[in-house]
Chains A and B, each alone.
Chain A
Amino acid sequence: MLKTILARLALAALATASIGPAFAQGTIKIAYTDPLSGPFAQVGDANLKQMNYILDYINSKGGALGKKFELVPFDNKSQPSDALIALKSATDQNMPFIMQCSGSNIAAALIDGVNKHNARNPDNRIIYINCGAVATELTNEQCSFWHYRFDAHAAEKAAVMVQALPKDVAKVYLLNQDYLFGQSVQRDVKTFLAKLRPDVQVVGDELIPLGKVKDFAPYVTKIKASGAQALLTGNWGPDMNLLIKAGIDAGVDLRYYTMYAHLAGGAVAIGPGGDGKVYSVQAFNENIAPEIGNAEAEAWTKEFRAKFPFDFYAAGFRTIFEFLAAGINKAGSADPTKVAYALEDLKIKDFLGFEIRMRKDDHQIIGPYFVGIFKKGVKYDSEKTGLGWATAATVQAKDIEQPTTCKMQRPKS
């Protein structure tokens, strides 16, 4: 009796497991892994909220092939090992996509993990959607057919940053996080300074432990003593917010050139004291739509403002999901291999109306980029500070594109 009950239970369990939840409920599942706890949780959390906002919109427009997208979050605590566990869970559930934004060291581990998994399991492949890990290597030396990067990489951002430096700046200070991405920014910024602005002197070049520094006042003292006029940094999360806060609190006469000051928490950290001092290399800010007169995009981000206490900055995420929808429609299925081929050289118009292309050579997104300045008197302020991002410069897609060293290897089927 007991044996038969056990056997039936086992059969029932097998039956539910083998259906495979990915297609069972008629949704296209996307695993999303980022820090949702720990010092960088605020970044992952803000990303998740924006992604869900975007997906609600895309699903209301019909999703892809009549199926809705569904985001399944996995906390990776900023640890590559936990991201690999998320990858395992995603492939176990036959999810066609895994998405990750924060941390190039994690991205490198995921690329490696996805490559191995796809080689060993040709009937259960997965595509890695990179929504923000921007170390330049990832689409050069480490490039992979299964990896698609939907953000400008560190060298592109560094080029934009160096071009945005005003002519009167002669001394700069570099401060970056001590890991794959920070080192990439450090190297790329120096390369472009040497190429584009040989008159600029690097008076300080520092790496800080990732997410460990709680008080940046000693660093600010050092920066001030170096006589730098501008601070160039790729820091993100609390490393960004605390650094700028310490600088503004100390009243140092400095201009800040950043890559991530526009993310959640940034505006509050800068505060009114940073009026006109902070620049950020960004894919989007809420004032771009009114500046270019796109009322539809303006209304769409305005609705986000009403619901959440932080800015909508993730225009790139909307592009990602629109690319995935377009790729799946083009491939006629959500099969990862077919979608991967369909995404190559795909071009779409993003919601602002700019043309965005996924470069076939290295799977790097190519689109326009902006330099924002944080100041008073903008139409949409940030995080209720009264100050917001205005566009100081627009860099066209053709000017941002850089050659790649990637030698892409494509699977046969």
Chain B
Amino acid sequence: MSRLPEDLTRFLFLVPYVAQHRHGVTVRELEDILSISRKDLATLLDRVAMVGAPDGGPDELVEIFLEGGRVHVALPQRFTRPPRFDVREMMALLAALAPLRANAPPTIGERANELSERIAGLASERAAAIGKDVGDRVQILADGAERPGVLHTLETALREQRAVEAEYWTAGRDELSTRRIEPAGIVQVRGAWYLIGGDEKTFKVERFRSAALGEPMDEAPDIDLEEARRRLEELDLGDGAVQVKVGERTFRWGSGGPAGTRRWVRAQRGRAAIQSPPEARAAMVEEVKALLARYEGDE
């Protein structure tokens, strides 16, 4: 396949980008941005070292060179701005922003919407001709029941450093309770929004029955949000107190509390069974028998 379009794109980006940096740009950075190997970059630079009017003088050439592990542009000529976004660039930018546009905390959603509109306005003529909505046709989207009212309250609480008074359903105990949460941040994992509390507890936004602004906090909690997000993203097996058999495999499960484990086992519709401890197994059997009694009267 021809590398011509890629090389043209790279050159048209490279010259204005490098020219903006007085001391040049490291080869490593360009390898990363341009998705190109060091060898291919060197070949490209070699090929474009004489770009200019064929009948022009040396001072009309674009001067681009590699020196000391950095790429420099001495004479960018009129290549001072990169081209507008092509179809792929526009699709990628808008798809990346999509999860923050829909069902996000209101201020973030508005900003993501405005940003997306500005980006769409920077499309090339060809990208715009393909379809002004083409950027919206790749979507990473939020799942679960979003609760805009709750998100708005949580965002306000974070901004104003106030506590949240909440009615929250804890799936692991199948229990609705009232609690005061000191919010540290909001994260989105697998399309669902979570509030991270100052005590590092996590609260899935769709499980808030209600949320109201509480008293101002003495100081904002200091939490590593990226670490909190990673913990949520990983499959947390908790304390591994419960042994569950799925098909021929047995593994330890402790995440989400006893009610959460039983909920997961119910969803497997007989493909999974709690093995131990005996009390967890008995609770599962007892719960299922009670549920079945509601339905067996029909038959």
Chain A partners chain B: no
Question: Footprint of B on A, CB under 8 Å?
Answer: none
